[in-house]
Structure 1
Amino acid sequence: MRMNLKFLSVKEVPRLFWSAPKALTFRPPAISLAFLVVGLFLFGLGEALIIAGAVGLSPWTVFAEGVTKITGWDIGLASFVISVGVLICWIPLKQSPGIGTLLNAIIISLVLSFVLPHLPTFDNIFLKVSEAVFGLLVTGFGGALYLIANLGPGPRDGLMTGLQRITNLPIAWVRSGIELGVIAIGWSLGGGVGFGTVMFALGIGPSVALSMYALMQIFGRAKVPS
């Protein structure tokens, strides 16, 4: 069992054959850009599957919903303001943006818009949970692919990698801690929390870490990006 849980000890985003030399570049390697796009597509698909499963809002959506309760904003504006706030938090963390930071918002939004209407929805609770769990795994795998591309994380993933770097804690722990904290804030503001919310909070970090660990095993260990 100890061997099977090694992925929970992953602390850094690995550098593999599709990793760009640096995040902030205007001429990214084609292979890095390709993996970035594929990873973001899968990330968006996973989020769409979680939404279609309809077993609870994601932690950050709960946070945005809570903000709408006290400000009167719509959820889109609340989500945007929260994302800007997270990006501001990057400054003390010395987190570097890149083309992936911009494409994160664009590609995931497009995938949600065009794919979500075509995904199946179920009345059976077992099928609903299964769809959400599958979405969680797809999200984690997509997140690992695009983060390893090293072309800049999205706001939330950048917060995760930045906090990991200064705490030296495993990625799974850091991400779960962030998500649980976001749930607590969103719930205290009046956001709705469901089973899927807690499942996502506890599962997204281990899902990303498991995917990174598996990719390292398949493609070989290498130095992490500096």
Structure 2
Amino acid sequence: MKLARFFFFIFGIVTLTLGVALTLKANLGAGPWDALTAGAARTFGFTVGTWVIINGVVLLFVNAYLLQERPQFLAGITFVLIGLLVDFWLLKVLGDWQPQGIILRAGVLLAGVALLAFGISMYLQSQYPVNPIDNLMIALHKRFHVNLMVAKTVAEISALVFAVLLKGPIGAGTLIVAFTIGPLIQLSYQPLHQLLQRFGS
């Protein structure tokens, strides 16, 4: 079971980071958090992956404050790996490639969203430390006693506001990501859970 969980963790993060890279490459608008990191990279320099790590560190302490707990430093493994792999896909694999034409770009965006949702569902199965972005929803839920949907919405809107201020890639794709990522994660979560149980049995 431990080996299966490790595989799900690694493969999930590899998949979700490819999804992030594709949504950014589509240039139709990325999800709020990815638009925030891309906007920060464009405004202040450094790579998108570096800003994934910086945001992870900040949120690590924000979540600890909200939950009145010690920072979950083991989560650093998760967001550092995500940051490194986002840069790997954007800089090494996809490089200067830029899809042309609205149909191809839309296809790349949809493929990116699907991979992102599948990857998140997969890595969450591992029960390894959760990325602080994903944990922020839980922290807001527990601190302010709001339901998870409200907590998730507050977190996404907060990221969107900063993304707009930093001139991140906001567009129609941002709405597509915002409204489809949750249902797609839900759709793939149970089948992946059953698959993990089969691997671990």
TM-score category of the 2 structures, normalised to the smaller one: 0.7 to 0.9
For 2:125, the equivalent position in structure 1 comes to: 148
Q: 1:164-186 CA deviation, whole Å, 9 max, x = no partner?
A: 5565734x664444223311233
Q: Distance in 1 between matches of 2:83 and 2:133?
A: 11
Kindly tell me: are residues 217 and 68 of structure 1, through their superposed partners in 2, closer, same or farther at Cα, counting changes over 3 Å? closer
TM-score, structure 1 normalization: 0.66
Q: Indicate if the aligned counterparts of 2:52 and 2:79 stay in contact, CA closer than 8 A.
A: no
The partner residue of 2:36 within 63, 87, 90 is 63
Q: 1:133-165 CA deviation, whole Å, 9 max, x = no partner?
A: 121011011011111101112231222344455
Task: Identify the range of structure 1 (161-170 vs 47-56) with the bigger mean alpha-carbon deviation.
Answer: 161-170
Q: Distance in 1 between matches of 2:28 and 2:165?
A: 20
Aligned: 1:47 with 2:20: yes
Task: Identify the range of structure 1 (161-170 vs 196-205) with the bigger mean alpha-carbon deviation.
Answer: 161-170
Q: Distance in 2 between matches of 1:154 and 1:67?
A: 19
Q: Distance in 2 between matches of 1:195 and 1:151?
A: 33
Kindly tell me: are residues 73 and 103 of structure 1, through their superposed partners in 2, closer, same or farther at Cα, counting changes over 3 Å? closer
For 1:31, the equivalent position in structure 2 comes to: 4
Aligned: 1:131 with 2:108: yes
Deviation, structure 1 residue 213? 3.5
TM-score, structure 2 normalization: 0.73
Aligned: 1:215 with 2:192: yes
The partner residue of 1:89 within 56, 62, 73 is 62
Aligned: 1:105 with 2:106: no
Q: Indicate if the aligned counterparts of 1:41 and 1:111 stay in contact, CA closer than 8 A.
A: no
In structure 1, the gaps of 5 or more residues are 1-17, 19-28, 221-226
The partner residue of 2:159 within 182, 191, 204 is 182
The partner residue of 1:195 within 147, 151, 172 is 172
For 1:205, the equivalent position in structure 2 comes to: 182
Aligned: 1:114 with 2:72: no
Structure 1 or 2: more helix by fraction: 2
For 2:136, the equivalent position in structure 1 comes to: 159
Amino acid at match of 2:13: L
Deviation, structure 1 residue 61? 4.2
